[in-house]
Structure 1
Amino acid sequence: METRGPGWWAEARATIGLAWPLALTNVSQHAMAATHALILGWFSTEALASGTLGANLYWLMMAPALGTAFAAAPVMAQARGMGQRRGGAARGWVREMRRGARSALVATVVLLVPSLLLLWHGERVLLALGQEPALAAGAGAYLRAMMWGLIPFSGFIVLRGFLAAMDRPGPALWVTGAAVIANAPLAWLLVFGAYGWPGLGVVGAGLASALADLLMLGALLVLIARDRRLRRFRLLGRFWRIDWPRLREVFRIGLPISGQMLLEIGVFSAAALAMGWFGAAAVAAHAIALQVSALSFMVPMGIGQAATARVGIMAGRGDAAGAWRAGWVAIGLGAGFMLVMAALFVLGARPIAWAFLDAAEPQAAAVAAMAAGLLTIAGLFQLTDGVQVVAAGALRGLKDTQVPMLMAALGYWGVGMPVGLGLAVWAGVGPAGIWLGLAAGVGLVAGLLLLRWRRLSVASREGEAFAGA
């Protein structure tokens, strides 16, 4: 029995209803990172540069586990869609969602072990990559405090995917909002010190981040356990029992997502390392531009997560036209938002840059000028950045992850980084050249993913099998 999906306007309302809490959750999570950047920037330019280098290595090491955490969303969404196709009477889909969540959690923890070992030796890694000893030391200390939040944060991502598949994104938003409110004064206290508490500098920011991650996971588990509709899934019941078939599926879907994220995070991390060749001011300017552009990116990322759930549910129901419509609606919403952000970046680059700096700092004027230039370049690729993340989310709803990973490799590392380094170093453009290369790479990835979505979704509408289903 095939179930017909909603029309265009109904789909847009459903996508927006699911996307805005997810987007605000992403914005709230990034707000914590932006808060740390602001506080460290007020503490010192060197602290901001150390924190930026450490954060880039942190996200690079987290990418493998995040892929399997994100894989939980399409697995559970398609399981729910199958339950709807069967009239919801069978309890098999409840069991399938539970198996998907547990397997994603197990896979995530397994992949985090080597990441934690590398982060513990973060200073040595950064020194081997040619970073200044003082900045590497600060970043290493930051990472040793921050790394304890890796497992709680990954667990939070899996649970958020479960809530998205259930059309219940609200609890994750409430938890993240509470964490943001608690994090700002906590980070300030730990960094600067007050009321007899000694300031820990960059280490304090890392510790505040780890505590916030632990708070988010614990609070979300409590909210799920207290909800009558959600606790029936018993997501953590008999957690020690390994479901090998579902674990293999999570790795099959999740490892390419990990690869794609590693490629994307890696190219921006490599850009930060390349900025280190131009001095602390360049690293600080890169940090400001990256924080602001990443903040705007959180909204289309939320739309992409909604697209994964909406497309996955339609695919599970066997509604090819509904999946096609859900993907295109989400892509249009993401593109529209990022057009507005592009105008804001170009017109407000200098005021935005100064918001992160203390005018009394000796290097503040140089950092602000450089950051304003990078923000203007970031504005030029806002549209393509939004399109690529939403298109990737729609493809994940079809469990299509391997080819998008290869497209990311071509765009980010075949074009983006070589062009950026060529402009920055050999053409003498400097730090701006690196960001121009990133813009070129993101644009290519967006075009390729859009073509991939068009081909698969049209093929599905014409009666061919869903990719990965």
Structure 2
Amino acid sequence: MTNFRAYLPHIRALLTLGLPLIGSHVAQFAITLTDTIMLGWYDVTALAAQVLAGGFFFIIFITGSGFAWAVTPLVAEAEARGDTTQARRATRMALWLVGLYTVVMLPLMYFSQAIFLAIGQTEEVARQAGLYLAIAGLGLLPANIVMVFKSFLSALERTRIILWVTLAAVVANAGMNYLLIFGHLGLPEMGIRGAAVASVGTQIVSALLMIAYIQRRLPEHTMFQRFWRPDWEAFGRVFALGVPIGLTTLAEVGLFSGSSVMMGWLGEIPLAAHGIALQITSLTFMVHIGLSNAATVRAGRAMGARDWDSLRDGGLAAFALSLVAVVVTIVVLLTLPGPLIGLFLDPADPERGAVIALGIGMLAAAALFQLVDAAQVMAVGILRGVQETRVPMVIATISYWAIGMPVAYLLGFPLGLNGVGVWLGLATGLACAALALNWLFWRRTYPRLRASGC
């Protein structure tokens, strides 16, 4: 066994890359968190509608982001070989793909109210969620453009600019929310529609800042010269890598969004409690997402350099850092659940106590799956770095939809555990994914790469 000193360079590299990425993910999450907190203070029904609509938007957005995430391993590998041209080609075609994806997906946003009613949501929640998405859908393209450039810059190990742009977006979103949700400074009180307008404005600002940085600081990549010229070879590579990534993410995110639908069957208060608990656990998960992104870059560069020892040691270092974050998270969730949930609710709201009581049980269940959730996302990050995406897609689909979702329904409804039962089902699906994905990398993919040398 290599001694601890051998891992220190990998730990330093992961932290150098990962800390700004963690910060940017937390900041990005803060945009959604701001919507949740402000709408929770505005009206509980608006909060429930935003939980539902936000989950719907996120499913569509994150599936299309598979094309953006494909950029990271492709650019990281190309940069390790000194092939700037290939890095540029992959990024351009990713922009093409997210543009085409947006055109296909936009109609779903405008017919969302009918979809929500068809899956059993209350009429008022469905109406408000539809109002939100009719506006928020306009932000799908700039949001995915931002994701492409984040992946590109991450692969180049320029992660600080990602953090600064995202922090600027947080400030812009909070300011616009304050003005438009509540109608301050003479502006109309728009409620949930104001939150949607603020989100679209924030996404546009973020995209423009990313473009300005790349044009000014990375002119050698000539990202936008002859942009409309097709490059079908690069298009095919990004598509082949990005579709499985998007579907893998869809399987996991769909599990959590499906749980929101089930919570809607239980009523507005359980749905609101679920939304708050999900916001809290998602915030802690940003640490693991950032580390996973850094692991993808490091694995991609090791792949390009054919440095298999670095691939192994970097992977172990990433898991160790993630484990430290898991321990801290479990302690916080088990010792401070009530105060955390209370931050999202108006102290004068008569339903505050009921929401907090339900949310505490959900956070206790969430503490159970912290380890397996972290383990699965770290394995996914490393597998993406070595461009292994198809088998993880199959594993995710089976784990989350053939196991996790049925268990969540069984525990939540026939067995009568309600919201806590749904969350225990989530934990079951994540545990299955964690075990299978880690087996895939450590027992199959890594030994194969090392043996073949390619």
- Find the partner of 1:99 among 86, 89, 92: 89
Q: Give the C-alpha shift of residue 363 in structure 1.
A: 1.3
What residue in structure 2 maps to residue 399 of structure 1? 387
Report if the CA contact (8 A) 1:108-1:154 is conserved: yes
Residue identity in the other structure for 1:345: L
CA shift, 1:460, in A, is: 4.6
What secondary structure is seen at the aligned counterpart in 2 of 1:247? helix
Of 190, 199, 213, the residue aligned with 2:203 is: 213
Of 170, 187, 190, which aligns to 1:200?
A: 190
Aligned partner letter, 1:182? A
Matches within 5 A, 1:133-148: 133-148=123-138
Q: For the residues of structure 2 that align with 1:411 and 1:342, how far apart are their CA atoms?
A: 23
8 Å CA contact retained: 1:192, 1:199: yes
Please give the secondary structure, in 2, of the residue aligned with 1:442: helix
Deviation (angstroms), 1:334: 1.4
Runs of 4+ aligned structure 1 residues displaced above 4 Å come to: none
* Number of residue pairs aligned between Structure 1 and Structure 2: 450
Q: Distance in 1 between matches of 2:210 and 2:186?
A: 33
Tell me, yes or no, if the aligned pair for 1:62 and 1:115 is still in contact at 8 Å.
Answer: no
| Mapped contact 1:104–1:250 kept (Cα < 8 A) | yes
For 1:73, the equivalent position in structure 2 comes to: 72
Letter in 1 for 2:312: W
- Amino acid of the residue matched to residue 237 of structure 1? Q
The reply on whether 1:11 has 2:5 as its aligned counterpart is: no
CA distance in 1, matches of 2:98, 2:150: 14
1:388 aligns with 2:371: no
1:454-465 maps to which residues of 2 (within 5 A)?
454-456=442-444, 458-460=446-448, 462-465=450-453
Equivalent positions of 1:257-276 (< 5 A) are: 257-276=245-264
**CA-to-partner distance for each residue in 1:132-186, whole Å, 9 max, x for gaps?**
1100000011111211111111111111111111111111110101111221121
The residue identity in structure 2 corresponding to 1:164 is: S
**Alpha-carbon deviation of 1:390?**
1.4
Letter in 2 for 1:449: L
1:297-323, Cα deviation, whole Å (9 max, x unpaired)? 111101111111110011011111111
Q: Deviations over 1:185-241 (max 9, x none)?
A: 2111110011211110001111111111111110111122221xx221011221111
Q: Is the contact made by 1:74 and 1:308 (CA closer than 8 Å) also made in structure 2?
A: yes
What's the % identity of the aligned pairs?
36
* Match in the other structure for 1:352: 340
In the alignment, residue 354 of structure 1 is paired with which amino acid? G
Residue 221 of structure 2 corresponds to which residue in structure 1? 233
Q: Which residue of 2 aligns with 1:180?
A: 170
1:361-376 map, 5 Å: 361-376=349-364
The one-letter code matched in structure 2 to 1:18 is L
Shift of 1:455: 2.1
C-alpha contact 1:275 1:286 (8 A) present in aligned 2: yes
Q: What secondary structure, in the 3-state scheme, does the structure 1 residue paired with 2:295 have?
A: helix
Residues 314-352 of structure 1: CA distance to partner in whole angstroms, max 9, x if unpaired?
101111111122222112211221221111111111111
Letter in 1 for 2:122: E
Q: Counterparts in 2 of 1:15-30, with a 5 A limit?
A: 15-30=14-29
Instruction: Flag structure 1 segments of 5+ consecutive residues without an equivalent.
Output: 1-5, 84-92
Report 1:121-160 matches (<5 A): 121-160=111-150
1:391-449: CA deviation from partner (whole Å, max 9, x where unpaired): 10110000000111111111111111101100111001111110010011111111111
Confirm or deny that 1:297 pairs with 2:288.
Answer: no
Q: Which amino acid aligns with 2:234?
A: R
- Unaligned runs of 5+ residues in structure 2 are none
Quote the Cα distance in structure 2 between the aligned partners of 1:64 and 1:439: 22
- What is the RMSD of the two structures over their aligned residues, measured on CA atoms? 1.3
Cα distance in 2 between the residues matched to 1:328 and 1:215:
38
Normalising by structure 2, what TM-score?
0.97
What CA distance in whole angstroms lies between the structure 1 residues aligned with 2:446 and 2:438? 12
User: Are the equivalent residues in 1 in contact too, given 2:306–2:453 (CA < 8 A)?
Assistant: no
